[in-house]
Amino acid sequence: MDNASLEVRSITQSEDETIALGRTLGEKLLGGEIILITGELGAGKTRLVQGIAQGLGTDDNPRSPTFVLVTRHIGRLVLHHCDLYRLNSAEEVDDLGLLELAEQGDVLAIEWPERGDGVFPADSLKVKMVRGSHDDERLVSLSGEGPVSRRLIESIELTAGR
């Protein structure tokens, strides 16, 4: 499989649909994936992570970890929900040791990944969330290059196509 970039887009019409998209993604995770979630404040990033946690079978309901940077949720796999908003440099992000967590098979869902520009591998799933034309509508694009992110995107496409 080549490393060409692949992208799929979705529109969610409510918080519940955003959570459901995350749940579908969470169900497809095998361990070690890095999910980089971008979007303005209030774009639904944490709602997506709540769905990912549900898809991993955790009983936790992740909240925005803005003040603690990283929260851990245990389900079928370990999910680390990271919010890098308060960090100021890629060096600060690198110092957190997040890549080591992914290397041991944990899943990383990272909000504000641009704070760590250059830290995360190319084969990370990139999720961009943009507010739509009404309050609860979100335009969501999933993109990536490399086998891990491509597998996730293709599995989401297949699920959406049913």
CA distance 37 to 158: 21
Average pLDDT over residues 119-137: 92
pLDDT score, position 27: 96
CA distance 158 to 110: 24
Q: Using pLDDT thresholds of 50, 70 and 90, give the confidence band for residue 65.
A: low
pLDDT score, position 135: 86
Any residues with CB less than 8 A from the CB of 33 and at least 6 apart, and which?
Answer: 102, 107, 108, 124, 125, 148, 149, 152
User: Quick check: 158 pLDDT over 60?
Assistant: no
pLDDT tens-digit readout, 73-127:
999 999 999 999 989 999 999 999 999 999 999 999 999 999 998 999 999 999 9
pLDDT score, position 115: 92
User: Quick check: 12 pLDDT over 50?
Assistant: yes
The two tokens of residue 77 are 């796999």
Domains of the chain (ranges, CATH numbers): 6-160 (3.40.50.300)
pLDDT score, position 162: 39
Beta strands, E only, 2-55: 6-12, 34-38
Q: One-letter amino acid identity for 83?
A: D
Half-sphere exposure at residue 52, Cβ-oriented, CA atoms within 13 angstroms:
32
User: Quick check: 161 pLDDT over 50?
Assistant: no
Count CB neighbours of 132 within 10 A: 14
User: Quick check: 3 pLDDT over 80?
Assistant: no
Give Dmax over CA atoms of the chain in angstroms.
43
pLDDT tens-digit readout, 23-50:
999 999 999 999 999 999 888 899 999 9
Flag the least confident range among 53-57, 65-69, 72-76, 144-148. Answer: 65-69
The two tokens of residue 153 are 């995107």
Please give the helix or strand (H or E) that residue 25 lies within, else none.
Answer: helix 15-28
Please give the helix or strand (H or E) that residue 59 lies within, else none.
Answer: none
pLDDT score, position 68: 78
Q: Are 2 and 146 in contact (CB under 8 A)?
A: no
